[in-house]
Amino acid sequence: MSTGHRDESDVVDPEAAFKDAQSLLQAGELLFAGTEESVFNCILCQRNKKQLRCIFDKYEENVGHPIEKAIQNEFSGAAKDAMLQLIHCIRDKTDYLVTRLHDSMAGIGTDDRTLIRIVVSRSEIDLVEIKQAYELKYGKSLADAISDDVSDDYKKALLGLIGD
């Protein structure tokens, strides 16, 4: 039985999204000197995921390029990296996790914390979807990537969690 109450995480207000997109533009690319980081922080931290996706769409409609380009141009260091990762996760959580998994095993050495955290935390939620997306994006199964990167009991444990 519905109580008529809407979950705020489902609410999308296109007019408010347009205003927020304008605020981001004025606090960043249109600002003559510097960037008002607090405006970006406030909007990114206080809006729900669906509303943020709408804001990102409105921003791109108004400016002609994605908000990621503005972040690249207006921010640096850890703030830039954090905002870009947050936006990536909001736009496509599965792709974000697939990218993080891949990056955790890329190059010399393994980012064990990231690899373990994602495999364990997503194992009962959406790991099947993540495995499919991983293979589509990188042309290699997640199981093969793990097998090529780690060994022994560590490998057995991870493969046991991912079901391969």
Residue 59 lies in a domain: yes
Residues 18-76 have pLDDT tens digits of 999 999 999 988 877 778 889 999 999 999 999 999 999 999 999 999 999 999 998 99
pTM score of the predicted model: 0.85
User: Pick from 77, 93, 89: which is nearest to 125 by CA?
Assistant: 93
Residue 56's CATH number = 1.10.220.10
- pLDDT at res. 9: 61
Q: How many CB atoms lie within 10 A of CB 111?
A: 15
**Domain range for 44:** 12-91
Instruction: Indicate the residue type of 24.
Output: L
Q: Are residues 52 and 79 in the same domain?
A: yes
Residue 5 lies in a domain: no
Residues 93-150 have pLDDT tens digits of 999 999 999 999 998 889 999 999 999 999 999 999 999 999 999 999 999 999 999 9
Please provide residue 23's backbone torsions phi and psi, each rounded to the nearest 5 degrees: -65, -40
- pLDDT at res. 36: 85
